[in-house]
Amino acid sequence: MTEPAEEVQDKELLVDAYLDGRMPPEQRLRFEERLGKDPELRNKLESATRTVDLVKQALGWVAPGEDFEEKVNTKIVSVTQSWQNLQPYVGTTSRSLTSDDADAQLLADPEAAREKRRLIILAVIAVLMFLLAAFAIGYSIVTGVQKPVPQESRKSD
């Protein structure tokens, strides 16, 4: 004989509340008494308990231990102190930036220098084209201006 869906859902909610510790003490006692009489409720509780245990066990493999943060910090310190390029930043007051310094090499970007040269060349070409166009316009204006023909000479034609 199957139970109505509402009763099954109620049993699951009761089991969840029991396992999570959300039941008041008097309801908890009634629930434990009912466990002795209801084998299906007992099976649901055992199944939920096994599921919770399996999840905890699985998370134990993934979750870091209590000393995780200390181990990570120790590893970070050992790595940064052993590698020359990972030394902590020292202010500019204690040393100057020279061409031999690794930090100075970060400032020089060959691609940026190429791009700068290309843009300068394009700017010079644009200025030359503008001057040439301005000269051509000025020349055409100067040579294209004709003296107006007097009205009397037009009538004779």
How confident is the prediction along the chain (157 residues), in pLDDT tens digits per residue?
A: 455 666 767 888 888 888 888 889 999 999 999 989 999 889 989 998 988 888 877 776 666 677 878 888 787 777 766 666 665 555 555 556 566 666 666 666 778 888 999 999 999 999 999 999 999 999 888 888 666 666 766 555 5
- Cα 131 from Cα 111, distance rounded (Å): 30
pTM to 2 decimal places: 0.37
Longest dimension (CA), the chain: 134
Q: Of 80, 103, 77, 82, which is closest to residue 91 (Cα–Cα)?
A: 103
DSSP state of 23: S
- Cα 103 from Cα 59, distance rounded (Å): 44
Burial of 58 from C-beta contacts in 10 A (0-12 / 13-18 / 19+): exposed
Contact 128, 121 (CB under 8 A): no
Burial of 51 from C-beta contacts in 10 A (0-12 / 13-18 / 19+): exposed
